[in-house]
Amino acid sequence: MTEYEQTLLARAAARQDRLIRDCLVLYAGANLPSPAAQGAYSAALSAYPAMGPSFAKEQPDTDLVSELEEAVRRQICDLLGAGWAEPRLPSCTYANLAVFHALTRPGDLFFGPAAQHGGHLSQRRGGTPDVVGLRVTDLPYDRERLCLDGHAAARMIERDRPAMVLLGRSIMLKPDDLAPVVAAARQAGAITVFDASHVLGLIMGGTYPNPLAAGVDVLTSSTYKTFPGRPHSIVAGRDPAHGALLAGVIDRQLLANNDTGRLPSLLVSLCEAKEEIGDYARAISRGTRRLATALRAEGLTVRVAEPDETPTHQLLVPLPPSVPQAGAIRIFAEDGILLGTCADPAVPGGHALRIGTQFITRHKTGDTPDWDEIARRLAQTFGKLSR
């Protein structure tokens, strides 16, 4: 091993302490599992594949993997009020791909969020839906209220009768009104899917309405944002028939092997969520509100949920048109602040800083984050962008 490679390994080993102690992590898609969840990873479970359904796998000595799969499924169903759950896929992009394969056919009409409104590559035109051969139409968005235009979406569904409607985005400042969309989709025979990657922990914690309880058919999610686990995915739903179709695609066509050593870690994170996720979700929403207030006091424009609405972990600060996104990220990183940028859904062609409160809320060094000091640091660096 070269000295350079040894240096890389040392830096990797020190990264967690650096993120918690030396950086202000305000990236909206970041988190770390607990020490117990990190320690539960089992490399021995991934020593060889465990292909196929639980307790009917092709390899020997896989009953423990099957038991873990079933235990994780039970916890997911418990936390989300779901009728079935699928924990085997490595990320939500793969989960969305599998759901598209299982529940649609090439050429079907698909409604999903536009990139300008926060549509992720696994949800939008030109991304994963295209891989499956779906015809993609953008869902309407309310630029003034910064959320899905549920009534306009319902009218589109009634008129065009898509096969699938995907809800949820990478920019989610507050809950969408899902009721008119769910009702129209049910009338039109469309399957509804909610990508909860950014708000899974808030759903489990009760500060974001549960889409499954609202009648959405399938929920997909990653597990490392407001839900503080290792990178993975979950899929859950109401109708076991949908779960059976998804499992068939996974078993026959998609998953020859996966890192089953992650299952114990996911199980620990889910069990911890039963005890802690409510307090955590409420602290995230409080932090978002306090940070928004503090940033406005520093003179910055902030896009966040209205005072009578419950905020998520996200708030946006519009960027000057002359500032490139990559340049903004770099300047903040040089000051020890890790955050991202995104399209500004309120301004066509505009961009914004996307700030998340979930990491610092969980990994704060004191009793509570000092949101006024965080806002001061953000404003100080923001002032450098136009220089």
Q: Residue 367: pLDDT above 70? A: no
Last residue of a domain, one of 229, 257, 272: 272
- Verify that 68 and 174 share a domain, yes or no: yes
CATH number of the domain where residue 15 is located: 3.90.1150.10
Q: Quick one: average pLDDT of 141-156?
A: 97
Please indicate, yes or no, if residue 166 is contained in any of the structural domains: yes
Last residue of a domain, one of 210, 237, 272: 272
- Verify that 170 and 139 share a domain, yes or no: yes
From CA 217, how far away is CA 240, in angstroms rounded? Answer: 10
Instruction: Please report where in the chains the tokens 């507050």 appear, as a residue.
Output: 174
- The whole-model pTM stands at 0.96
Q: Quick one: average pLDDT of 221-229?
A: 98
- Verify that 131 and 238 share a domain, yes or no: yes
Average model confidence (pLDDT) across the chain: 96
Question: What is the DSSP track for 68-114?
Answer: HHHHHHHHHHHHHT-SEEE---SSHHHHHHHHHHHH--TT-EEEE--
What confidence tens digit (pLDDT) does each residue in 85-108 have? 999 999 999 999 999 999 999 999
Residue 368 binned pLDDT confidence (cut-offs 50, 70, 90): confident
- Please tell me the total count of domains within the chain: 2
CATH number of the domain where residue 43 is located: 3.40.640.10
Last residue of a domain, one of 272, 305, 340: 272
- Verify that 16 and 92 share a domain, yes or no: no
Please indicate, yes or no, if residue 1 is contained in any of the structural domains: no
- Residue 141 pairs in a beta bridge with 148
What confidence tens digit (pLDDT) does each residue in 297-309 have? 999 999 999 999 9
- Verify that 71 and 127 share a domain, yes or no: yes
- Verify that 46 and 191 share a domain, yes or no: yes
Owning domain of residue 23? 10-35+277-382
Please indicate, yes or no, if residue 387 is contained in any of the structural domains: no
